[in-house]
């Protein structure tokens, strides 16, 4: 498999152009590639069912710009096909980061009014007036968001909230929270959504064209690495049709 990690000698040779992080020209460069075939000209054809994940993870330095590029086309001219170029992310301890870990809901900060045990499906907090069903709850939060990515996340999501007679709020979850914290612990709501960091989502044409995107810095938006990202895995999918592609790679720009 033709995959290359950055080497010191390559970096010196490439200078300001940086180096290659990952190349995926062969079927074997993609995990669970049953929906993938390779033609004699090395073009890869993806049925569009499921997802393609690179077999190799690569190191992420948010201070550097990583550029994705590849040539893509849709296989059926009558279909409208959107390509999703995305990443799965992990922290330095190999814990996968998802939006649940890095997407606080503004104005939902509060604290526990009573201790919580792992088996509890209800949590008592000082204020839950802005909590909505479907949100997750993060525990041991910091006002300056320095806890992000936060892995102290309720296993389930908010099912309902009720205000108690003493002014506190009872929050009921869809499943036990599976966490244990004392009264006074800071909490806040986090969005509960899928686990993809998106880089670019283009519509494809009938002929090959280059799709490219840069990812750098830290944040919770397209083109930014999620807080705490140390490693990532390339993900491609297209929900509405078959796709052909070639020359997929990731490069570091600059020195």
Coil, strand or helix: which one is 213?
strand
**Angle 65-66-71 (CA atoms, 0-180°, nearest 5)?**
135
d(CA 101, CA 173): 17
Whether the Cβ atoms of residue 89 and residue 97 lie closer than 8 Å to each other: yes
d(CA 69, CA 86): 12
Considering the domain architecture, whether residues 44 and 117 belong to the same structural domain is answered as: no
Q: Looking at residue 236, which CATH number applies to its domain? A: 2.60.120.260
d(CA 48, CA 79): 12
Considering the domain architecture, whether residues 108 and 77 belong to the same structural domain is answered as: no
pLDDT(198) > 60:
yes
Considering the domain architecture, whether residues 116 and 81 belong to the same structural domain is answered as: no
Q: Is residue 233 part of a domain?
A: yes
Residue at token pair 């004392």: 182
Considering the domain architecture, whether residues 68 and 181 belong to the same structural domain is answered as: no
Count structural domains, the chain: 2
Considering the domain architecture, whether residues 207 and 91 belong to the same structural domain is answered as: yes
Q: Is residue 3 part of a domain?
A: no
pLDDT tens figures, 21-79: 999 999 999 998 899 999 999 999 999 999 999 999 999 999 999 999 999 999 999 99
189: containing domain? 99-193
Considering the domain architecture, whether residues 34 and 80 belong to the same structural domain is answered as: yes
The last residue of a domain, from among 166, 193, 220? 193
């Amino acid at each position: 498999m033709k995959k290359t990690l950055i080497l010191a000698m390559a970096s010196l040779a490439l200078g300001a152009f940086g180096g290659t992080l990952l190349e995926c020209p062969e079927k074997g460069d993609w995990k669970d590639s049953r929906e993938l075939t390779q033609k004699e000209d090395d073009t890869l054809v993806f049925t569009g069912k499921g997802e393609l994940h690179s077999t190799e993870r690569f190191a992420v330095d948010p201070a550097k710009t990583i550029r994705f590029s590849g040539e893509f086309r849709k296989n059926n001219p009558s279909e409208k096909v959107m390509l999703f170029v995305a990443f799965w992310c992990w922290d330095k301890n190999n814990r996968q980061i998802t939006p649940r870990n890095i997407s606080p809901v503004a104005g939902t900060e509060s604290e526990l009014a009573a201790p919580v045990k792992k088996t509890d499906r209800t949590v008592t907090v000082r204020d839950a007036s802005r909590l909505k069903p479907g949100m997750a709850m993060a525990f041991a939060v910091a006002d300056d968001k320095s806890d992000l990515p936060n892995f102290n996340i309720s296993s389930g999501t908010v099912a309902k909230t009720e205000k108690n007679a003493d002014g506190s709020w009872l929050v009921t979850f869809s499943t036990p929270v599976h966490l244990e914290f004392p009264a006074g612990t800071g909490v806040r709501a986090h969005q509960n959504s899928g686990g993809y960091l998106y880089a670019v989502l283009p519509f494809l044409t009938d002929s090959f064209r280059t799709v490219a995107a840069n990812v750098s810095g830290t944040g919770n938006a397209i083109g930014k690495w999620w807080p705490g990202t140390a490693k990532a895995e390339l993900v491609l999918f297209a929900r509405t049709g078959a796709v052909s592609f070639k020359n997929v790679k990731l490069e570091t720009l600059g020195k």
